[in-house]
A = this chain, B = another copy of it.
């Protein structure tokens, strides 16, 4: 039985027990499920408009478990459950959460609720929560947790070990330790593994790695994730403007960021704006808005192709057979160009391609696109002969090579140009590149047609 099957089975049994209000079964089933799994069951129930059953399921869990499950839900789903909670229970749930999840939940609550909850908190907790909630979304500050293990400089290994044991129940990770100087700045870092094999009387200062790889609170989250990936880190320490340690971003959050950013890039590559939730859950109006902007802009881009055609109306009227090859030629150029743009955009996003590689890549694209254009011209030339004779075949073949070559170079260069002007290279989406190539393709094709057919 695969994991997924066993999970589905657990879910079914749980839902049945819930249906029959079979407490005994529930108590036997629930500890078998991870919080992520229970969260998924709750999401399924909410999607089926079964709010009552979802609430009953959550309520049947111990409070600590409730906090953990809520941490896995999306903002609107969290609101469904918290809006029915009394203030003292919600406060207890918040207290049971890690500081990063607490902050996220706090941010989705409405103004009044936040006020009430803040007033019930101790001064220090309140300050910390408000500080964490103040960082802009998409930065290391918004992603980090303040539950890390800090060790003052000069501490011995044995005392540091005691500190780790004390912090263990609350810290997000106890496996990476941060040695702070008197100002609270990271002076070094060490792993729990290093600490465990060290001589108990040694000072942490002797063991720590002094060159601490870190982010600042306003480092973009994708850069933080890149640090984690590059250096195989368990967590990245985050410092504020005064270089004081204020939090850490852990490997699991970095993984979520990589997945999220990839989705965003894939959507951008097709001219879709950033969705606030999965495609199956995002509100329809929002989905419409995120798709319509570029589509309408590109309508006007496509009018350029129309203008090109209008310019050559006489050529077309004289030889209507030319229209046969129009979608083929502009389509092929668009496909090759979109390939080239996509390779560059993704290469730049992963750090594989830098601006200084431009010259080298241009030479490579010239060779590859030339070969592609030639292959496609050879594929299409016989059909040109069949439909319009040798002269038309020549026009089509020469146009194919030119359009594929031009389209590929345009697709390749556009991301670099956009980047140069401070735009996101991903704006060079397939639809934009295709639209630009369509217009150029019309001009190239009918220019060759006029030139070759009228002289022939």
Chain A interface (Cβ < 8 Å from any Cβ of B): 3, 32, 34, 36, 164-165, 168-169, 174-175, 192-193, 196-197, 211, 213-215, 225, 227-234, 251-252, 254-256, 258-259, 262-263, 265-267, 269-272, 278-280, 284, 287-288, 291-292, 294-296, 298-300, 302-303, 305-306, 309-310, 313, 316-317, 320-321, 323-328, 330-332, 334-336, 338-339, 342-344, 346-347, 350, 352-353, 357, 360-361, 364, 367-368, 371-372, 375-376, 379-380, 383, 387, 430-431, 434-435, 438-439, 442
The distance in angstroms between the C-alpha atoms of A438 and B298, with both chains bound, is 16
Taking A251-B251, A262-B266, A270-B338 as known contacts, 6 extra A-B pairs with beta carbons closer than 8 A to each other, sorted by chain A number, are: A174-B196, A175-B175, A267-B343, A271-B339, A295-B335, A295-B372
Contacts of A352 in B (CB 8 A): 278-280
Residue with the highest number of chain B CB atoms closer than 10 Å, among A175, A313, A327: A327
Q: How many copies does the complex hold?
A: 2
On whether the beta carbons of A375 and B197 are closer than 8 Å, the reply is: no
Chain B residues closer than 8 Å to A306, beta-carbon distance: 324-325, 327-328, 387
CB pair A229–B259 under 8 Å, yes or no, is yes
Expressed in whole angstroms, the Cα–Cα distance for A166 and B292 within the complex equals 61
Distance, CA A295 to CA B338, complexed state (A): 11
Contacts of A371 in B (CB 8 A): 288, 292
Closest Cβ–Cβ distance, residue A143 to chain B (whole Å): 14
Q: How far is the CA of A230 from the CA of B39 in the complex (A)?
A: 11
Q: How far is the CA of A265 from the CA of B346 in the complex (A)?
A: 11
With A229-B259, A280-B361, A327-B442 in contact, is A272–B372 under 8 Å at CB? no
Tell me if A343 and B227 are in contact (CB < 8 A). Answer: no
Closest to A215 in B: B3
User: A303, B164: Cβ atoms under 8 Å?
Assistant: no
Using Cβ atoms and an 8 Å threshold, which residues of chain B touch A32?
211
Q: Are A342 and B196 within 8 A (Cβ)?
A: no
Query: For the complex, what is the distance from the CA of A344 to the CA of B442, rounded to whole Å?
Result: 32
Q: A255-B251, A280-B352 are in contact. Are A368 and B288 (CB under 8 A)?
A: yes
Q: Are A431 and B335 in contact (CB under 8 A)?
A: yes
**Smallest CB–CB gap between A221 and chain B, Å?**
14
Interface centre among A215, A279, A342 (most CB of B within 10 A): A279
Distance (whole angstroms) from the CB of A255 to the closest CB of chain B: 5
**Complex contacts, A269 vs chain B, CB 8 Å:** 266, 269-270, 342
| A288 and B372 contact, CB distance less than 8 A | yes
Q: How far is the CA of A279 from the CA of B270 in the complex (A)?
A: 20
**Closest residue of B by beta carbon distance from A39:** B230
Inter-chain contact A328/B302, CB cutoff 8 Å: yes
List 11 interface pairs A-B (beta carbons < 8 Å), by A numbering. A36-B230, A165-B197, A258-B259, A287-B368, A288-B371, A291-B339, A302-B328, A306-B327, A316-B323, A331-B434, A334-B434
CB closest residue in chain B, given A265: B266
CA distance A435 to B211 in the complex (A): 54
Asked if A252 contacts B280 (CB within 8 A), the reply is no
Bound-state Cα–Cα, A286 to B323, Å: 34
Interface centre among A300, A320, A321 (most CB of B within 10 A): A320
Nearest to A290 among chain B residues (CB) is B339
A389 → B minimal CB distance (Å): 15
In the complex, chain B residues whose CB is within 8 Å of the CB of A298: 331-332, 335
- Contact (Cβ within 8 A) B272 A342: yes
Expressed in whole angstroms, the Cα–Cα distance for A164 and B175 within the complex equals 14
Partner of A272, one of B193, B234, B339: B339
Q: How far is the CB of A437 from chain B (nearest CB, A)?
A: 10
CB contacts (< 8 Å) of A338 on chain B: these are 270, 430-431
- The answer on a CB contact under 8 Å between A316 and B310 is no
A357/B302 in contact, CB under 8 A = no
A232 to B252, CA, bound (A): 5
Closest to A252 in B: B232
Instruction: Report yes or no: A34 in contact with B231, Cβ–Cβ below 8 A.
Output: yes
The reply to whether B295 and A342 contact each other, CB–CB distance below 8 Å, is no
Give A394 Cβ to nearest chain B Cβ, in Å: 17
